[in-house]
């Protein structure tokens, strides 16, 4: 059951989240113990390739390439969705899915241009686990991708060294969060799901945040379930 698999993926992503109590404990220690641990060494930051796996690199370049990988995945997904729209899609759903496709393509193309010669290659995707004829499969996957994107940008933010890049990540993550809310509302209209207790901690009001390799499955592992060209982030947290 493809839909079951997608729901399973969503559940795994959501249950494998980072422990909020631990975070708050760190937060309360005034941050000094969580100081930024990455020193940018520009020459060594660049991505590399071994055994067919693309490593995104380290430092700000690594984080931006990690974001670029996720945006490539999202763009490819929504291009496929729009190219073979499931039957019965409402005009609102078509509009939302077309808009999101354009946004993700803009993000992808921007990262490619901004990273220039430091950009990772074009990744080949594997969407065999997605049933593009099924509304539940498409929107379920979209929800997982958007929530994952939000948590990835949120989690990587504090490791970014350059303020301009952090602002840039901020410009993109809020758009991903707008997407997540819209997709969640399509799945569960007029409910609290757009910012549901499964993603936003009801006690702290904080959204999920995860570093690339945190949790099981990690964001990297989740992304790889949709990628033929595998990625790694061995030099990122």
Partner 1 sequence: MNTTKIFEALANEKNETDLSRRDALNKTLKLGLKAVIAAIPLGLSSIMSNRAFAQTSTPGVVDILNYALTLEYLESEFYQMGLASPGLVPSSDMNIIAQISKHEDAHVALLKSTIASLQGTPVNKPNFDFTAGGTFADVFINYQTFLALSNAFEDTGVRAYKGQAANLLADKAAGAVITAALDIHSVEARHASEIRRLRGFKGWITQTQANGLPAAIYAGEDNTMQGGKDVKTVTAVPADAITEAFDEPLSMAQVLAIAGPFIKA
**Which residues 9-28 are close enough to bind partner 1 by CB under 8 A?**
23, 26-28
Stretch that binds partner 1, among 2-10, 118-126, 131-139, 187-195 (CB under 8 A): 187-195
| Nearest C-alpha neighbor of 127 from the set 77, 187, 194 | 77
Q: Which is nearer to partner 1, 49 or 161 (CB)?
A: 161
Which of 130, 150, 219, 227 binds partner 1 (CB under 8 A)? It is 150
Q: Is residue 74 at the binding interface for partner 1, with CB under 8 A as the rule?
A: no
One of 14, 119, 187, 200 touching partner 1 (CB under 8 A): 200
How far is Cα 44 from Cα 61, in angstroms, rounded to an integer? 10
- If binding is defined by CB under 8 A, does position 166 make contact with partner 1? yes
CB 167 to partner 1: min, Å: 5
Helix 59-83 with 163-187: angle, nearest 10 deg? 30
- Give the H or E element holding residue 176: helix 163-187
Is residue 218 at the binding interface for partner 1, with CB under 8 A as the rule? Answer: no
Q: Which is nearer to partner 1, 149 or 224 (CB)?
A: 149
List of residues 6+ apart from 39 with CB closer than 8 A: 59, 161
Contact set for partner 1, span 81-110 (CB under 8 A): 95-96, 99, 102-107, 109-110
Question: Contact 231/220 with Cβ under 8 angstroms?
Answer: yes
The answer to whether 142 contacts partner 1 (rule: CB under 8 A) is no
Judge if the upstream peptide bond of residue 123 is cis by omega within 30 degrees of 0: no
């Amino acid at each position: 059951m493809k839909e079951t698999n997608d729901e399973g993926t969503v559940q795994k992503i959501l249950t494998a989240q980072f422990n909020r109590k631990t975070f708050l404990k760190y937060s309360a220690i005034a941050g000094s113990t969580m100081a930024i641990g990455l020193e940018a060494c520009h020459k060594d930051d660049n991505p590399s390739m071994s055994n067919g796996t693309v490593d995104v690199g380290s430092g700000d370049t690594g984080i931006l390439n990690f974001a670029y990988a996720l945006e490539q995945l999202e763009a490819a997904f929504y291009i496929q969705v729009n190219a073979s729209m499931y039957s019965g899609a409402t005009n609102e759903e078509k509009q939302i899915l077309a808009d999101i496709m354009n946004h993700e393509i803009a993000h992808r193309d921007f990262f490619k241009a901004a990273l220039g010669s430091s950009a990772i290659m074009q990744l080949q995707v594997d969407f065999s686990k997605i049933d593009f004829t099924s509304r539940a499969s498409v929107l379920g996957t979209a929800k997982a991708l958007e929530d994952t994107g939000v948590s990835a940008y949120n989690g990587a933010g504090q490791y970014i060294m350059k303020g301009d890049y952090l602002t840039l990540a901020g410009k993109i993550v809020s758009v991903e969060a707008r997407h997540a809310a819209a997709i969640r509302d399509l799945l569960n209209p007029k409910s609290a799901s757009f910012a549901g207790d499964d993603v936003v901690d009801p006690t702290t009001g904080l959204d999920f945040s995860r570093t690339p390799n945190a949790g099981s499955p990690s964001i990297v592992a989740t992304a790889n379930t949709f990628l033929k060209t595998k990625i790694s982030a061995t030099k990122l947290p």
